[in-house]
Amino acid sequence: MAKSRSAKSKQHREFLMMKERFVGDNYVKYLDLAEKHFVATTGIERQKLLFMLFCYDYEFFTISRIAEDYNRNEKGLYERTIRPLKKSGYLEDYYASGRVNKVVEQMLGITNNSARICLSHKGRHAVQRFYRMLDGREDIQYHDIGSGGAPINQKGR
């Protein structure tokens, strides 16, 4: 039988938390609860949330570029994800095709004239809020819809 590293008095507990110096960063511990809370409070589906998390570090992007980076079909990505997010205000046109004059195109080095899309202020704020929930700086309150139970209050750490 293997020898235990913990004291005998601690072995009969239901759980024992590890010391913080051994754990390090544990941001995704409450990922499931944070995701459920976020979807319930904002109405954004999980697929769209993951797309917004992916787009968070882009200042702007074209549909063809983001489809290539995100490994999705351009038309399907636009129809299922980008268009609904634009309608709800989480994405917006950075500058649309044909709206930039030739001098600005030359200054910015724009070779193709396709529309650039970016996360709106509302979208960036939503992603930052989700990261705060994961980090533990914002409470997660999720009502289990199936059981009708009391809210679950969790801190991220």
Residues above pLDDT 90, as percent of the chain: 42
Domain 28-135 carries which CATH code?
1.10.10.10
- Comparison of pLDDT for 88 and 151, the residue scoring more: 88
Positive or negative CA dihedral for 93, 65, 43, 79? positive
Decide: helix, strand or coil at residue 116: strand
pLDDT of residue 157 exceeding 50, the answer is no
148's tokens: 């009708």
pLDDT at 30: 81
Decide: helix, strand or coil at residue 144: coil
pTM of this prediction exceeds 0.85: no
pLDDT at 140: 85
Decide: helix, strand or coil at residue 13: coil
pLDDT digits (tens, 9 = 90+) for 93-121: 987 655 556 666 666 665 566 788 999 99
Decide: helix, strand or coil at residue 77: helix
56 pLDDT band, cuts 50/70/90, is: very high
| Amino acid code (one letter) for 81 | T
> Under a CB-based contact definition with an 8 Å cutoff, are residues 131 and 123 in contact?
no
pLDDT of residue 146 exceeding 50, the answer is no
pLDDT at 114: 72
Q: How many CA atoms lie within 13 A of 128 on its CB side?
A: 7
